[in-house]
Amino acid sequence: FSQPPTSASPSRWRLMPPVQASSSVLAAVFCLLRHKPVIESFWQKSALALVSVLLKMCPGRVITKLLSSGEKEVDLAVQSAKAAFKIWSQMSGMERSRVLLEAARIIREQREEIATLETINNGKSIFEARVDIDISWQCLEYYAGLAGSLAGEHIQLPGGSFGYTRREPLGVCAGIGAWNYPFQVACWKAAPALACGNAMVFKPSPFTPLTVVRLAEIFTEAGVPKGLFNVVQGGAATGQFLCHHPDVAKISFTGSVPTGIKIMGMAAKGIKPVTLELGGKSPLIIFSDCALENAVNGALMANFLTQGEVCCNGTRVFVERKILDVFTKEVVKRTQKIKIGDPLLEDTRMGALINRPHLDRVQGFIKQAKEQGAEVLCGGDVYVPDDPKLKNGYYMQPCVLGNCTDDMTCVKEEIFGPVMSILPFDTEEEVVERANNTKFGLAGGVFTRDIQKAHRVVAALKAGMCFINNYNISPVELPFGGYKASGFGRENGRAAMEYYSQLKTVCVEMGDVESVF
């Protein structure tokens, strides 16, 4: 938590103040890099099991253990946030803006430290982690700019009477993050929530619990009221306590469809609004009139960022038959050159997958694809780096599958790994119909020089985020979210402010009251 310890807490289980928490996390990192023993950080008392954090590139080496937050700890976090909300919500938008700008400045100045911690936290390359941190501080800056713009409208009524609307904060919001972009997702949720005057209790994935703690400390350093942004650790049980808490006004979740369904059900019992950013199986359509090099670059970006563990990835790559061979040949050649290995090295472009069960799951999809008739054009095997310290890592070679058909499991289900499926098509009408033939609707993309065709196709795609002649870029100015089973609500852009606020209508009578009684 980002609040001081209470006198009622036994010293061993005391809630750490920000400086102590930071020391624990950084000490764990330094311990890892120097191959020292495990560090245990007792942040809060709990009857639940310990959550072990393993280094993804050197599995089996525990860098720290965090206690899962139980029902009492979640309640303490919510009550702390509720108290901070009373202060924060009464501040002007410009006052909140200055605090968010200060938080952005701290993140920007500590970019390298936070990116290194994120790489250790998640396993992605340091190159990508730096981009994530840049997007994070940009997100805070963007919403700092919008914080002072929250406003209602004036409506003139007959006889000099009038009405007006007020856009007001919701209260304590719950944020539940994913393990693929731990720090960035936390910023995407916290920035608009805090800009609107809310407080937030955030639960990161138990697989990536570290960097969001640093974010909480940064908010405290920037000047938010104590407890405005609290962090609870744990798995499903902790999330359930948070979702069921009567003082939580809204839930924002990023993760899988099955978990999203459960969260929606829990929110329904309390009539709480939810934002759900769930999975995807997005189409990337490559027309024969595209700029081939750009299309190849786009396909690589659409499939292999963060080891392919990206919800909006364009993993169904539809290629017009006229250029199928030349496109496939170039994609395979480029994929085979991707540097895999130690994610802390500057030239590494693909790090380790999140954990062993997930690596096994991705391998299972590839095995099933081959059984169903797909051809492995390159990659797909477990990768063993030359560095002996990494020999047991959760690495795999990025995979390109050919000879795919729409009914294959690898084409229908979200793999969430570095696996691209290439499918040929002949006509625009055909590919649009096939692209939409999915339960998901998170993203989609098209590469073509024909701008009319590009706009026509994206208009027909049933997806919330579409790209023309690019893929997987994340400007914080643009709303992000899905259709269908990929969820609802929006993150980023001005639209997100509507999901972290509520509208009050006020009717003012300037004359006498007429009664029918």
Q: Are 274 and 250 in contact (CB under 8 A)?
A: yes
User: How many Å apart are CA 209 and CA 214, to the nearest integer?
Assistant: 10
Distance of CA 425 to the CA centre of its chain: 32
Per-residue confidence (pLDDT) for residue 392, from 0 to 100: 84
Rg (CA), the chain: 24
Q: Are 372 and 389 in contact (CB under 8 A)?
A: no
pTM of the model: 0.90
- Among 67, 66, 69, smallest CA distance to 121 is for 66
Per-residue confidence (pLDDT) for residue 49, from 0 to 100: 38
Per-residue confidence (pLDDT) for residue 63, from 0 to 100: 73
Q: Is 356 buried (19+), middle (13-18) or exposed (0-12) by CB count in 10 A?
A: middle
- The SS3 assignment for 421 reads strand
Q: How many CB atoms lie within 10 A of CB 154?
A: 10
- Among 203, 226, 233, 230, smallest CA distance to 216 is for 230
Paired strand residues for 168: 502
User: Within the chain, which residues score under 70 in pLDDT?
Assistant: 1-61
Q: What is the pLDDT of residues 239-251, one digit of tens each?
A: 999 999 999 999 9
Per-residue confidence (pLDDT) for residue 61, from 0 to 100: 64
Q: What is the pLDDT of residues 376-412, one digit of tens each?
A: 999 999 999 998 889 888 999 999 999 999 999 999 9
- Among 225, 171, 227, 179, smallest CA distance to 203 is for 179
- Among 306, 279, 340, 359, smallest CA distance to 181 is for 306
Q: Mind telling me the catalytic residues?
A: 277
Handedness of CA 247, 250, 256, 257 (dihedral sign): positive
